[in-house]
Amino acid sequence: MIPPEVLKNRHLLTSCQISHVFGYNIFPENFDEKVAVLDFVKEFLLLADAFNNAGVGFIPLKGPVLSYRLYGDSVSRHYSDLDILVNSRSVPAAIEVLTSLNYKAYCPEWPSKYQLQKILLKNSDSVTLINPVKSISVELHWRLLRASVVSFSRLEEIINNNLSQIKFGGRTFKVLSDELELLYLIIHGGHHWWRRLKWLTDITVFLKTKSPDWGHFYSLVKELKARRMVALCNAMLSEYFPEDPLIPSTFKEKKFMVRFSQRMIKSQEELTSDFFKRIFQSVCFELISFPSYRYKLRTIKNYLFVKEFFGGSTLFNSIPLFYVYGPIKLTLKRLFD
């Protein structure tokens, strides 16, 4: 068992989650921590009202709503930003709403030219905006998954067919159904190699508190070809939560994915060291995560489209020139920083 201090400081589990892991209270409630999280909740509700008033539909991802769904309150999970999903057609309107609330896009900057907006929407999945006064950032997503085995139009159909509603903060929100929510959490944690055990803790709580329709869940797994991600999640659950329920499946895990995830979970370092080695390993990990050539090509394209540099040079803002310019600039930056 990983020591509680490591779970708290390295894996960002809250006192509530650590109590869940060990079955009893280890750390006293940290009221300063809760007050800080409540600032995020207040801001989230402010954003929700602004989006609703502007007629911009959205789905909250993770954050306070997931904390409420899993733990019964909005402050039981640690989160450092707010994730919001809109459809691609609503992105300009959503940007306008956030800009009116003093948010500024920076990763990358939101282009003023329509043609560049189209390129960014086609080649990326999200943009980060920050409110410098409140020090709160928003991840505005227009794709649920960064790369997918199905077309992005089909992915939007899957989302629209797998929604439910939840009452939170005196408001009604559209959220992912239990089946799609569970699969999204599995894929999200897998893409991050489960290096934060807070994500795996969410899965254990989900399996204990929810009753998904497993037939429907596996129909989603089949269409999105996510068997390897489910198998990896079960392998991590078996390792770190051996007494808790597993996802009922017989899917076979990929040994490299398991070994790499275990190494990342145990590592005390972030991904800044051995940058190029880690990039190579993470690319290999992502390429074998889903057995689909469409997915693999999209994954490679995602790595070549270094969105932090998009919009910074008029000469290289066209595709495919940017697929060469971005990686070269990133490499030089890492070599000489």
Alpha carbon distance 334, 337 (integer Å): 6
pLDDT at 105: 93
Q: Over 90: is that where the pLDDT of 21 sits?
A: no
pTM of the predicted structure, to 2 decimals: 0.93
Q: Over 70: is that where the pLDDT of 270 sits?
A: no
pLDDT at 316: 87
Residue-averaged pLDDT of the chain? 92
Alpha carbon distance 79, 67 (integer Å): 9
CB 140 within 8 A of CB 86: yes
- The end-to-end CA distance of the chain, in Å, is 38
pLDDT at 241: 93
What is the DSSP track for 296-323?
A: HHHHHHHHH--GGGTTS-GGG-STTHHH
Identify each DSSP E strand in the chain by its residue range: 59-61, 82-85, 104-107, 126-131, 136-141, 163-168, 171-176
What average pLDDT does range 242-255 have in this prediction?
Answer: 94
How confident is the model over 117-131, as pLDDT tens digits?
999 999 999 999 999
CB 85 within 8 A of CB 59: yes
- CATH number (1.10.3470, 3.30.460, 1.10.10, 3.40.50) of 1-176 reads 3.30.460
CB 189 within 8 A of CB 11: no
pLDDT at 33: 73
Beta bridge partners of 136: 131
What would you report as the CA-atom Rg of the chain, rounded to the nearest whole angstrom? Answer: 20
Q: Over 60: is that where the pLDDT of 110 sits?
A: yes
Query: Pairing mode, if any, of strands 82-85 and 136-141?
Result: parallel
Alpha carbon distance 26, 333 (integer Å): 43
Confidence of residue 79 (pLDDT cuts 50, 70, 90): confident
Alpha carbon distance 162, 35 (integer Å): 33
Query: Pairing mode, if any, of strands 82-85 and 104-107?
Result: unpaired
Confidence of residue 80 (pLDDT cuts 50, 70, 90): confident
How confident is the model over 227-247, as pLDDT tens digits?
999 999 999 999 999 999 999
Confidence of residue 275 (pLDDT cuts 50, 70, 90): low
SS3 104: strand
Q: In terms of pLDDT, which residue wins out, 308 or 215? A: 215
Nearest to 47 by CA among 190, 133, 225, 171: 171
Confidence of residue 22 (pLDDT cuts 50, 70, 90): confident
How confident is the model over 43-66, as pLDDT tens digits?
999 999 999 999 999 999 999 999
